[in-house]
Structure 1
């Protein structure tokens, strides 16, 4: 155990944030899953133990991911993209249909569902970071740099958007941010945005879930005219937040958990505010903002472009996802199926989010090691100077 702690490197603040979010996740999930446990005919403790296994598994993946030199993720990204695109296509055609969306693939033997878009987010961001780094000398070249980048972004976007538009839009936004940081020209970025807009329009008005997307937008824009059944989730979430007050009802004392359809995943932030109040809600916001700030420091200090792009892309993705989830819970956006990173209950979401945190910590670990080597080198040079000066004979 002591050996593992000695090998734990990287930004200490990010480690602390991960631990706090994990503890909060266990408290929230235990409080929110009473109704789910009743429907499944199991005890709440059984669901909590399963969630705990994923949390511990996520921490283990984070630990091993941060030990691996981040430069190896450049090669891994190619393999991930080769696996991800066929897997996304398979999910659309043959995936498990849950809530009228084919987002999951059932893993044989263990009978555990696997959300392929979680892998796709990690794959595309690492692949873009690698491609933008490798193509810097030809970054303005349309054939050598622009087309491969645009092709990967648009293909992944359309494959995810057909079943999960909110995740696809967030991933597309992160991709555009990476293109800006990677010095892609404004003209080329505008072309990517135009291509994304065309694909978005096609998905919203022609895709298999077009009725769901249009309905959610209409409910959000005109809640007073909406069908009560369609606005039920949003209304129950607002009730939870309104009754939470400043200090909340206390851990485990939520009443809206019995009415919210997904108080342990999509609307876990509403349950947190109900139980921990405005103070708890703001504390969670501060944790994600602190995480983003620490990641920005990592980006600015990284000596290599790949490390900077990798940390920037993953941190933007996690932070945007967190604030998208919180915005939905407080009524600032239409209802989506986006989980709160490291807090919402969900197997693959926790595991891949943990890997993303681990990669960011790997970049941070590399920065710390280079600083330590530089400090050691400076000390050795100073010692050599003192020895040389000491050997010079004193002038008579």
Structure 2
């Protein structure tokens, strides 16, 4: 059975390897950093690890299924996702579960799990923009047919996410702009989208329900010496973890700052990794994400259709930007936000949607490989015909 699965696993082999390595790093780091969480919840650390492993294996299963589906089907799926996503984001803002003064989650009845709707929104918007940009290439500069649908969907998703999760909204907006550039949208139209985004951002920052949280976090980042100790607590202990890790780290399971960092297993898991595995371990994680971006860029350049190229580009940019944003925050290069490290941080539905994104990228890669194989087989057949003709003439 395993042999059959391996034989049916297609796409870029290096991306599969990166996913496996990140999953192993995730299990080690989560097991090490959840001792305090297990104590608070009255559970064994192994129980939390087992639940996390189930999510990882479930994600790999979803990635396998996603990569087997022809990527061109995602163009039609994107319309359904956008139809579901917008009202779901609005529902989350009004009726969602409030955690840390933010309404980002919807509780799934009877399961004990929560569902972060912004994870679905990222996947929906990127696939939808890739569809619009690829299908509107002939009249890409037409304001009514192309620009208004693109701008409307981008701005609507941005503001609905930003009201509860500004960092995720900003990253998604940045990825959208990159897609517009790749999709040959004019500079003037891109400038209009950026201006609209700036106006919405100002509205969220000045009038949004979390405006005081944004102010305090930015102030703590800009002026840490003047900030309330409670506001700089996480970033301070993350820096301590990284500083004490040294070159080779304290060793697996020997982190001390995990006992102080409230989110050492999610938002600040990179600090835990550096503390235990040192600068070498931290650079290795960075290298994996850079190599992932490199492999995805190769897929983009080889994709025969615009939709496949835009799809792979958007999803890969989203994953790598999120990864580097998380690591930048851990080392003190940005204000504290709730951004997880893709496929490494402990999470529920975020792991599943990240895995689906990987599966879609691999679906594009699989299509490229199959096309190249068909070309090779076609060339062999034509060579056989030529050889046969020459033999007959002889």
Give me the whole-angstrom Cα distance separating, in 2, the residues matched to 1:311 and 1:268. Answer: 27
1:285 aligns with 2:270: no
> SS at 1:83's partner residue?
helix
C-alpha separation in 2, matches of 1:112 and 1:17 = 27
Q: Match for residue 341 of structure 2?
A: 340
Distance (whole Å) between structure 2 residues aligned to residue 42 and residue 237 of structure 1: 25
1:158 paired residue number: 159
In structure 1, the residue matched to 2:256 is 255
SS at match of 1:384: helix
The SS at the match of 2:23 is helix
Map Cα deviations across residues 265-294 of structure 1 (whole Å, 9 max, x no partner). 000000000000000000000000000000
Tell me the equivalent position of 2:354.
353
Q: What are the equivalent positions in structure 2 for 1:135-284 lying under 5 Å apart?
A: 135-284=136-285
Q: Map of 1:13-28 to 2, 5 A cutoff?
A: 13-28=14-29
> In the TM superposition, what is the alpha-carbon distance from 1:340 to its structure 2 partner?
0.1
Partners of 1:19 and 1:4 lie apart in 2 by 15
Q: C-alpha separation between the residues in 1 aligned to 2:222 and 2:54? A: 40
Instruction: Tell me the alpha carbon deviations over residues 99-126 of structure 1, each in whole angstroms, 9 at most, x when there is no partner.
Output: 1100000011112110000000000000
> Which residue number corresponds to residue 46 of structure 1?
47
Distance 1:82 1:29 in 2: 35
What do you get for the CA RMSD once the two structures are aligned?
0.4
- Look up the SS of the partner of 2:341 in the other structure: coil
Distance 1:231 1:42 in 2: 29
Residue aligning to 2:117:
116
List gaps (5 residues or longer) in structure 2: none
Counterpart of 1:392 in structure 2 is 393
Is it true that 1:369 corresponds to 2:391 in the alignment? no
Distance in 2 between residues matched to 1:298 and 1:176, nearest whole Å? 20
Alignment map for 1:37-116 (pairs within 5 Å) = 37-116=38-117
2:133 matched to 1:129?
no
TM-score by length of 1: 0.99
Q: Which secondary structure does the structure 1 equivalent of 2:345 belong to?
A: coil
Aligned-pair CA distance for 1:205: 1.0
Give per-residue Cα distances to partners, 1:342-387, cap 9 Å, x unaligned.
Answer: 0000011100000000000000000000000000000110011000
Cα offsets for 1:130-171 (capped at 9, x unmatched): 000111111000000000000000000000000000000000
Distance in 2 between residues matched to 1:205 and 1:328, nearest whole Å: 23
Cα distance, 1:226 vs structure 2? 0.6
The C-alpha deviation readout for 1:187-218, integer Å capped at 9, x for no partner, is: 00000000000000110111000000011111
Q: Once superposed, which parts of structure 1, at least 4 consecutive aligned residues long, lie more than 2 Å away?
A: none
Aligned residue for 1:97, secondary structure, equals strand
Secondary structure class of the residue paired with 1:104: strand
**Equivalent in the alignment of 2:308:** 307
Alpha-carbon separation, structure 1, partners of 2:113 and 2:12: 33
